[in-house]
């Protein structure tokens, strides 16, 4: 009997992943996004420690398969799709220790949740640090300003920030966002509570040395994203928090998302976002939908394409703008991703038309190989 219950638990967890999200895309634009959220991982009806439903005795099993007395709520799963989802489930179960047994996973395609998984103490509305997964959001904000005509990616920083009229005067916005600027990777000014972002960036301009000639090498870092955000403040005459909310946050269902809450006047645009899985999932949906979310166009499809292309002039084609580029063939990347020091891992696969998000706090070194292996599994199965 215990084995039967266990089998039922697994089946229910797998079947629950095929439910439709709402609202549906607008009928006049099949590329419009939807209001994405991992309802299965929200915590309702689940135990504290596992994604598997709580014991059958404590819930109405009919409600899983029927709603309002109507039949037909059971997902229409082919044996092939069922096998795929069970493979995903078994992989995550067997590797849960790599995530300190605390993780949530979501795979979506169009308006359907292809798969979701939850284990541990977090739910899909728990606020967590996403570290460098913030970079894609910051890059999207900058692209929104570019679309407005107030900025171009090849503008020089020194055009907007006078303190950069030194050996850094040739650095461009594109170089800042593609890790080819030569700016220091990190600085002692980043987390200072007694500084504003303007004071932080001026200090970097005059008190740090370039690591290499801009545009000639690539080195991953976060300080350059703070410089780009400061350029946005100069152009918009607003704080970075205001700019983010007006251009991306309020439009992507991220109104409660904040950068660096412990020192908000000196935010860390390269790694400072605190948000929930569902909030970041909404942003990722916008990227997946090539600029639309919930029926609203937030960025042009051309802007998303620029973010996903090589912006390093072939110095290091793995860097887009705020995104890592994978599966590159003939210069075209068919998969892009956001990685994080906490292990948060988001990606979009263009060739097979799906997107995924792994939400955890277990750390980069502990999770990266498992994250990549899971991504490979999904790529092969979907």
Q: Name the token pair of 102.
A: 């605390």
| Domain annotation covers residue 370 | no
Q: Name the token pair of 24.
A: 């549906």
> Model confidence over 4-45: pLDDT tens digits?
434 433 443 433 343 333 223 333 333 333 344 555 555 443
Arithmetic mean of pLDDT, 113-125: 88
With 0.85 as the threshold, say if the pTM is over it: no
**What is the per-residue pLDDT for 63?**
32
135, 322 Cβ separation under 8 angstroms: yes
**What is the per-residue pLDDT for 16?**
39
Percent of the chain with pLDDT over 70: 79
Alpha helix positions (H), the chain = 2-15, 62-65, 79-94, 134-147, 173-177, 197-207, 223-236, 240-247, 277-288, 301-308, 364-381
What is d(CA 308, CA 344) in angstroms, rounded to the nearest whole number?
Answer: 19
Identify the CA nearest to 154 among candidates 122, 126, 180, 125: 180
> Model confidence over 156-204: pLDDT tens digits?
999 999 999 999 999 999 999 999 999 999 999 999 999 999 999 999 9
| Domain annotation covers residue 211 | yes
Close Cβ partners of 382 (under 8 Å, ≥ 6 residues apart): 84, 107, 109, 114, 349, 352, 354
Arithmetic mean of pLDDT, 100-128: 90
244, 223 Cβ separation under 8 angstroms: no
| Domain annotation covers residue 49 | no
What is d(CA 80, CA 282) in angstroms, rounded to the nearest whole number?
Answer: 28
3-state helix, strand, coil in the chain (%, to 5): 40, 15, 45
159, 173 Cβ separation under 8 angstroms: no
Residue 226 sits in a domain of what CATH number? 3.40.710.10
> Model confidence over 69-80: pLDDT tens digits?
333 333 555 666
* Phi, psi (rounded to 5 degrees) for 138: -60, -45
| Domain annotation covers residue 83 | no
Identify the CA nearest to 88 among candidates 132, 110, 119, 63: 119
Percent of the chain with pLDDT over 90: 72
DSSP, collapsed to helix, strand or coil, labels residue 198 as helix
Tell me how far CA of residue 162 lies from CA of 3, 169, 201, in angstroms. 70, 9, 11
311, 146 Cβ separation under 8 angstroms: no
Q: For 7-16, 135-144, 234-243, 248-257, which range has the lowest pLDDT when averaged over its residues?
A: 7-16
| Domain annotation covers residue 191 | yes
**What is the per-residue pLDDT for 272?**
97
The domain tally of the chain equals: 1
Confidence of residue 110 (pLDDT cuts 50, 70, 90): confident
Close Cβ partners of 311 (under 8 Å, ≥ 6 residues apart): 153, 174, 177, 178, 180, 319, 320, 321
Average pLDDT over all residues of the chain: 84
Q: What do you get for the CA distance between the two ends of the chain, in Å?
A: 33
Distinct helix (H) and strand (E) counts, the chain: 11, 11
Q: For 46-55, 246-255, 306-315, 373-382, which range has the lowest pLDDT when averaged over its residues?
A: 46-55
**What is the per-residue pLDDT for 6?**
44
Point out which residues pair with 338 in neighbouring strands: 346
Print the domain residue range for 146.
Answer: 124-276
What is d(CA 43, CA 113) in angstroms, rounded to the nearest whole number?
Answer: 16
Strands 354-360 and 345-349: antiparallel
| Domain annotation covers residue 93 | no
Give me the sign of the Cα torsion angle 221, 226, 228, 229.
Answer: positive
Please tell me the number of Cα atoms within 13 Å of 233 on its side-chain side.
20
338, 323 Cβ separation under 8 angstroms: yes
| Domain annotation covers residue 256 | yes
> Model confidence over 198-233: pLDDT tens digits?
999 999 999 999 999 999 999 999 999 999 999 999
**How far from chain centre, in Å, is Cα 179?**
18
What is d(CA 232, CA 255) in angstroms, rounded to the nearest whole number?
Answer: 19
**What is the per-residue pLDDT for 282?**
95
| Domain annotation covers residue 253 | yes
Arithmetic mean of pLDDT, 96-100: 97
DSSP annotation of 313 reads T
């Amino acid at each position: 009997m215990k084995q039967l219950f266990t089998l039922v638990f697994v089946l229910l967890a797998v079947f629950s992943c095929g439910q439709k999200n709402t609202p549906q895309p607008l009928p006049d634009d099949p590329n419009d996004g939807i209001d994405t959220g991992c309802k299965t991982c929200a915590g309702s009806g689940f135990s504290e420690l596992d994604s598997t439903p709580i014991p059958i005795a404590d819930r109405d099993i009919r409600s899983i398969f029927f709603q309002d007395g109507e039949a037909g709520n059971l997902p229409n799963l082919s044996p092939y799709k069922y096998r795929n989802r069970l493979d995903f489930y078994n992989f995550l179960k067997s590797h849960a220790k790599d995530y300190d047994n605390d993780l949530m996973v979501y795979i979506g395609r169009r308006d359907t949740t292809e798969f979701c998984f939850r284990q541990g103490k977090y739910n899909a509305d728990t606020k967590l640090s996403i570290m460098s997964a913030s970079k894609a959001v910051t890059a999207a904000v900058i692209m929104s300003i570019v679309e407005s005509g107030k900025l171009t990616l090849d503008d020089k920083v020194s055009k907007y920030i006078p303190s950069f009229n030194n050996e850094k005067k040739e650095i461009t916005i594109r170089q800042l966002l593609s890790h080819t600027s030569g700016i220091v990777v990190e600085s002692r000014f980043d987390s200072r509570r007694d500084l504003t972002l303007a004071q932080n960036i001026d200090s970097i301009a005059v008190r740090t040395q370039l690591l290499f000639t801009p545009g000639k090498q690539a080195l991953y870092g976060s300080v350059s994203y703070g410089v780009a955000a400061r350029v946005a403040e100069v152009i918009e005459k607003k704080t970075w928090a205001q700019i983010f909310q007006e251009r991306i946050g309020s439009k992507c269902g991220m109104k409660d998302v904040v950068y660096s809450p412990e020192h908000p006047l000196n935010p860390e645009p390269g790694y400072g976002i605190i948000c929930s899985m569902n909030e970041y999932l909404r942003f990722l949906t916008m990227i997946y939908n090539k600029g639309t979310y919930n029926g609203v166009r937030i960025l042009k499809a051309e802007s998303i394409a620029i973010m996903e292309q090589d912006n390093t002039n072939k110095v290091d084609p793995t860097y887009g703008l705020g995104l890592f580029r994978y599966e590159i063939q003939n210069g075209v990347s068919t998969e892009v991703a956001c990685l994080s020091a906490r292990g948060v891992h988001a990606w979009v696969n263009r060739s097979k038309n799906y997107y995924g998000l792994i939400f955890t706090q277990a750390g980069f070194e502990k999770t990266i190989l498992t994250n990549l292996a899971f991504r490979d599994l999904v790529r092969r199965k979907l």
